[in-house]
């Protein structure tokens, strides 16, 4: 029998016991919302982890977005501050480089704790892709994630060329030193399928990259300094290759709060496969077009392939026949995670999702009462959240952007 | 594919509202004996639909019958899984993924009893499933692939107190990932637990008797 390598890292959540610190033998928590941008180079938008930045247009604008997706505050470049009326936020800082077709974003999620004045940041992620040409020069501070461990939130960030902290870890000033937290090294090398971010790679920006995602979690702003509880950042593979991961073995009260408030999610790791599971399904997570109804099936983990499998059932509950094909969209952090998708939307819509959203076409007609069940197979790793997999459907299918994108 | 509608085996535990189904499964595993894709493992999963590990359902698998075979090795446990094929396996959906895997040497039959609570919560149902893994950890191909996208022999989406039990035969059009010829395992035979049916029949008889006494 195959030996399943590495460890199962089981999450044991002790709810409601008032503990100030829990030890999690696992990676930790994510927040549900991702945001999505428009290709104007500014830091606003909603609902996905992709943000376009015009080539050469390096911005440093921060948007705070409430969990319902409304934009609440935009910080001008170089400023910071925390509106007290926002208790959950989505922080986005755009980055851009000198490449063609580059996009990237940084997101952070957390909550505001009025009694302490702390913004507790739980999760940050950088997504990016080069759609044409070759991009290099992404080491260090270019992709530095700015979560301060002391002083104002969102300040700092490791800079390219900064030495790694003593004892290893990401590039940039050491945690707790007031400077923040940065990354170094190449994230993903399509030539080899993987590349590591290591402490010694702070200046290594020589390898071309095409797509990447990396994430880390933990930390607290405004005097928190809890990020030093994290042994190192966690970095996830892009596409199918694991790059490097670290485990967070401690979880702060802030993280516990996030979990109990239903805005954080937990991660389970089995071997080289990781799954982040949610604590809630957003009300907006499930949208349907009448008259077909869509129901979800449960999840099964395929240990051999490392995929998660679920099902979607489309049913005609009306008394009239519905002519196919039907389709539904699967919103995932990366559409490529949906292994059996028909394609990706070229144009987004409020219902189906943003451009790039995976969709599945069901080539069938639906007589009254008829149903069709479709398996959905997703790659496990870098699955940012199982329940970020939002399933939507449309009966008529203007799907892959055949009309003009607005 | 065989569907077992579990209304007939629905039990309500005394004093609670927790519904439970109890089913005996019997597989003809003759084709596994000496197959090159072995050694094989039994894989049970009870994954939480809500994702939080709400621990609202439990699967208990016992009364294992391996025929001339036997369990081997130690179980590989994920989440809320515990136990051993040599005795009883329990899986609670206390994590998102809750998985029990343990090797076994195949005999001519494989049987076990499943006791599954069927508490429904949330939009995405909890799911119980069972598969047989080859020596590489891959599922033996089954016909479930074409409806559930997975090579399980048993799939139960707990979407009601009396969920449909789906069982599948192996898929003779595909070879195991670990090699060898396609494996022929017929659709397993799910049967309501006779113990509980007997108890149910006795309970029904008692009710009828009480009603009769009341009206007489």
- Pick B149's closest partner by Cβ from A8, A286, A311: A311
pLDDT(A7) > 60: no
For A:285-304, CB contacts with B below 8 A are 286, 295-304
| Nearest CA distance, B95 vs chain A (angstrom) | 7
Using a CB–CB cutoff of 8 Å, tell me whether B92 touches chain A: no
- The predicted-structure confidence for A44-88, as pLDDT tens digits, reads as follows 222 222 222 222 222 334 344 333 344 434 434 333 333 333 333
- The predicted-structure confidence for B119-136, as pLDDT tens digits, reads as follows 997 778 899 999 999 988
- The predicted-structure confidence for A126-164, as pLDDT tens digits, reads as follows 433 333 333 333 222 222 222 222 222 222 223 333 444
A28, A217 Cβ separation under 8 angstroms: yes
| Smallest CA–CA distance from A307 into chain B, residue | B150
Interval B91-117 mean pLDDT:
93
All residues of chain A having their beta carbon less than 8 Å from the beta carbon of residue B47 are 298-301
At which residue do the structure tokens 């997101």 appear? A107
All residues of chain A having their beta carbon less than 8 Å from the beta carbon of residue B37 are none
Residue in B55, B92, B124, B178 to test binding to A, most A beta-carbons within 10 Å: B124
Tell me what pLDDT residue A357 has: 67
User: Across the interface, do B53 and A305 touch by the CB < 8 Å criterion?
Assistant: no
User: Across the interface, do B47 and A311 touch by the CB < 8 Å criterion?
Assistant: no
Work out the mean pLDDT of chain A and round it to a whole number.
41
A142, A89 Cβ separation under 8 angstroms: no
pLDDT range class, residue B18, cuts 50, 70, 90: low
The burial class, CB within 10 Å (0-12 / 13-18 / 19+), for A114 is exposed
- For B127, the 3-state DSSP assignment is strand
- For A208, the 3-state DSSP assignment is coil
| Smallest CA–CA distance from B96 into chain A, residue | A277
Tell me what pLDDT residue B58 has: 97
Q: List the one residue out of A297, A314, A260 whose CA is nearest residue B49.
A: A297
Q: Give the contacts of A33 (CB within 8 A, at least 6 positions apart).
A: A46, A47, A65, A67, A69, A90, A109, A282
Strand locations in chain B (E):
2-5, 11-12, 19-28, 40-47, 58-65, 70-78, 81-83, 89-92, 99-105, 109-117, 126-133, 154-158, 164-167, 189-192
Residue in B94, B95, B103, B144 to test binding to A, most A beta-carbons within 10 Å: B95
Tell me what pLDDT residue B24 has: 96
Tell me what pLDDT residue B88 has: 97
CA atoms within 13 A on the CB side of B125: 25
Tell me what pLDDT residue A347 has: 54
- Pick B51's closest partner by Cβ from A4, A265, A303: A265
Tell me what pLDDT residue A374 has: 85
Tell me what pLDDT residue A364 has: 78
Tell me what pLDDT residue A291 has: 61
Give percent above pLDDT 90 in chain A: 0
For A:354-383, CB contacts with B below 8 A are 373, 375-377
User: Across the interface, do A298 and B124 touch by the CB < 8 Å criterion?
Assistant: yes
DSSP string, B38-88: -SEEEEEEEE-SSSS-----EEEEEEEE-TT-EEEEEEEEETTEEE-TTS-
Tell me what pLDDT residue B111 has: 96
What pTM was estimated for this model as a whole?
0.53
pLDDT range class, residue B118, cuts 50, 70, 90: very high
Tell me what pLDDT residue B96 has: 77
Structure tokens at A61: 């604008």
Tell me what pLDDT residue A88 has: 34
User: Across the interface, do B133 and A304 touch by the CB < 8 Å criterion?
Assistant: yes
- The predicted-structure confidence for B138-185, as pLDDT tens digits, reads as follows 899 999 998 898 999 999 999 999 999 999 999 999 999 999 999 999
Triad A300, B4, B21: Cα angle to 5°: 75
| Smallest CA–CA distance from A267 into chain B, residue | B96
pLDDT(B104) > 80: yes
A148, A180 Cβ separation under 8 angstroms: yes
pLDDT(A97) > 50: no
A239, A188 Cβ separation under 8 angstroms: yes
pLDDT range class, residue A294, cuts 50, 70, 90: confident
User: Across the interface, do A1 and B78 touch by the CB < 8 Å criterion?
Assistant: no
Tell me what pLDDT residue A349 has: 55
At which residue do the structure tokens 């449909």 appear? B164
For A:239-278, CB contacts with B below 8 A are 265-266, 268, 270, 275, 277-278
- Pick A303's closest partner by Cβ from B49, B127, B133: B133
User: Across the interface, do A1 and B99 touch by the CB < 8 Å criterion?
Assistant: no
- The predicted-structure confidence for A183-213, as pLDDT tens digits, reads as follows 322 233 333 333 333 333 333 333 333 333 3
ipTM summary value: 0.84
All residues of chain B having their beta carbon less than 8 Å from the beta carbon of residue A281 are 50, 122-124
A115 or B87, which is more confident: B87
- The predicted-structure confidence for A327-349, as pLDDT tens digits, reads as follows 676 765 444 466 677 776 655 55
- Pick A298's closest partner by Cβ from B73, B125, B135: B125
- Pick B78's closest partner by Cβ from A270, A311, A340: A270
Give percent above pLDDT 70 in chain A: 14
Using a CB–CB cutoff of 8 Å, tell me whether A79 touches chain B: no
User: Across the interface, do B97 and A299 touch by the CB < 8 Å criterion?
Assistant: yes
All residues of chain A having their beta carbon less than 8 Å from the beta carbon of residue B78 are 8, 10, 268, 270
All residues of chain B having their beta carbon less than 8 Å from the beta carbon of residue A311 are 147-149
Q: Which of A280-284, A318-322, B187-191 is the most confident on average? A: B187-191
First CA to last CA distance, chain A: 53
Interval A298-311 mean pLDDT:
80
Triad A227, A230, A231: Cα angle to 5°: 135
CA atoms within 13 A on the CB side of A127: 20
- The predicted-structure confidence for A372-395, as pLDDT tens digits, reads as follows 888 888 764 333 334 334 444 333
- For A37, the 3-state DSSP assignment is coil
User: Across the interface, do A297 and B129 touch by the CB < 8 Å criterion?
Assistant: no
**Using omega within 30 degrees of 0 as the cis cutoff, is the peptide bond preceding A325 cis?**
yes
- The predicted-structure confidence for B82-103, as pLDDT tens digits, reads as follows 999 999 999 999 877 888 999 9
Tell me what pLDDT residue A81 has: 37
Triad A244, A246, A249: Cα angle to 5°: 170
DSSP string, A232-299: S--B--STT---B-----EE-HHHHHHHHTT-EEEEEEETTEEEEE-S---GGG-B--TTEEEEE---
User: Across the interface, do B150 and A375 touch by the CB < 8 Å criterion?
Assistant: yes
Q: List the one residue out of A114, A91, A118, A84 whose CA is nearest residue A35.
A: A91
Tell me what pLDDT residue B171 has: 96
A395 or B28, which is more confident: B28
Q: Which of A106-115, A144-153, A318-327 is the most confident on average? A: A318-327
| Smallest CA–CA distance from A271 into chain B, residue | B78
Using a CB–CB cutoff of 8 Å, tell me whether A9 touches chain B: no
CA–CA separation, B99 and B53 (whole Å): 13
pLDDT range class, residue B3, cuts 50, 70, 90: low
For B:136-175, CB contacts with A below 8 A are 136-139, 145, 147-152, 155, 157-159
A389 or B205, which is more confident: B205
CA–CA separation, A337 and A207 (whole Å): 24
Interval A98-114 mean pLDDT:
38
**Using omega within 30 degrees of 0 as the cis cutoff, is the peptide bond preceding B39 cis?**
yes
User: Across the interface, do A10 and B158 touch by the CB < 8 Å criterion?
Assistant: no
CA B40 to chain centre: 17
A107, A139 Cβ separation under 8 angstroms: no
Tell me what pLDDT residue B209 has: 52
Tell me what pLDDT residue A121 has: 40
| Smallest CA–CA distance from B148 into chain A, residue | A375
CA–CA separation, B131 and B44 (whole Å): 7
Work out the mean pLDDT of chain B and round it to a whole number.
84
Residue A11 CB coordination number (10 Å): 25
CA–CA separation, B93 and A88 (whole Å): 29
Tell me what pLDDT residue A313 has: 82
User: Across the interface, do A10 and B79 touch by the CB < 8 Å criterion?
Assistant: yes
């Amino acid at each position: 029998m195959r030996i399943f390598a590495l460890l199962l890292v089981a999450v044991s959540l002790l709810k409601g016991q008032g503990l100030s610190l829990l030890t999690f033998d696992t990676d930790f928590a994510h927040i549900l919302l991702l945001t999505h941008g428009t290709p104007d180079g500014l830091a606003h938008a909603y609902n996905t982890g992709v943000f376009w930045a015009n080539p050469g247009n390096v911005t440093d604008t921060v948007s705070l977005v409430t969990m319902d997706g409304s934009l609440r505050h935009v910080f001008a470049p170089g400023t910071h501050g925390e509106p007290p009326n926002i208790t959950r936020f989505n922080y986005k800082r755009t980055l851009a480089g000198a490449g063609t077709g580059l996009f990237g974003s940084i997101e952070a999620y957390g909550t505001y704790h009025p009694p302490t004045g702390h913004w507790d940041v739980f999760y940050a992620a950088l997504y990016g892709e080069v759609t044409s040409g070759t991009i290099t020069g992404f080491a260090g501070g270019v992709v530095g994630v700015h979560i301060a461990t002391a002083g104002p939130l969102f300040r700092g960030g490791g800079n390219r060329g900064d030495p790694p902290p003593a004892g290893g870890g990401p590039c940039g000033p050491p945690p707790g030193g007031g400077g923040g937290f940065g990354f170094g090294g190449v994230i993903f090398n399509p030539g080899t399928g993987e590349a590591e971010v290591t402490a010694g790679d702070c200046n290594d920006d020589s390898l071309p990259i095409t797509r990447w995602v990396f994430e880390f979690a933990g930390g607290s702003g405004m005097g928190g300094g809890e990020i030093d509880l994290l042994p190192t950042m966690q970095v996830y593979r892009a596409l199918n290759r694991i790059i490097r991961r670290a485990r967070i073995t401690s979880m702060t009260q802030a993280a516990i709060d996030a979990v109990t408030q239903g805005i954080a999610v937990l991660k389970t790791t089995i071997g080289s496969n990781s799954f982040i599971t949610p604590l809630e399904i957003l009300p907006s997570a499930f949208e349907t077009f009448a008259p077909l109804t869509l129901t979800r099936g449960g999840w099964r983990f395929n240990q051999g392939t490392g995929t998660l499998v679920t099902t979607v059932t489309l049913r005609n509950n009306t008394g009239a026949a519905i002519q196919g094909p039907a389709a539904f969209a699967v919103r995932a952090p990366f559409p490529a995670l949906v292994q059996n998708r028909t394609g990706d939307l070229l144009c987004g819509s409020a219902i189906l999702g943003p451009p790039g959203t995976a969709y599945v076409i069901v080539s069938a007609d639906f007589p009254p009462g008829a149903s069709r069940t479709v398996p959905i197979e997703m790659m496990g790793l870098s699955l940012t959240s199982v329940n970020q997999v939002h399933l939507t459907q449309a009966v008529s299918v203007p799907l892959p952007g055949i009309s003009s994108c607005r | 594919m065989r569907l077992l509608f579990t209304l007939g085996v629905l039990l309500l535990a005394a004093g609670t509202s927790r519904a439970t189904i109890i089913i005996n499964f019997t597989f003809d595993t003759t084709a596994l004996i000496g197959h090159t894709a072995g050694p094989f493992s039994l894989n049970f999963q009870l994954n939480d639909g809500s994702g939080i590990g709400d621990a609202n359902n439990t699967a208990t698998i016992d009364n294992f019958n391996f025929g001339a075979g036997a369990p081997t090795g130690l179980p590989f446990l994920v989440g809320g899984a515990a136990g051993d094929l040599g005795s009883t396996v329990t899986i609670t959906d206390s994590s998102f993924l809750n998985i029990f895997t343990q090797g076994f040497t195949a005999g001519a039959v494989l049987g076990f009893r499943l006791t599954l609570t069927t508490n429904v919560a949330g939009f995405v149902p909890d799911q119980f499933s069972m598969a047989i893994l080859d020596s590489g950890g891959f599922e033996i191909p089954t016909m479930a692939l074409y409806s559930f996208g997975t090579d399980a022999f048993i799939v139960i989406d707990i979407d009601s107190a009396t969920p449909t039990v789906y069982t599948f035969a192996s898929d003779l059009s595909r070879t195991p990932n670990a090699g060898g010829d396609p494996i022929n395992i017929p659709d397993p035979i799910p049967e309501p637990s006779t113990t509980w049916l007997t108890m149910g029949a006795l309970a029904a008889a008692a009710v009828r008797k009480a009603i009769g006494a009341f009206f007489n």
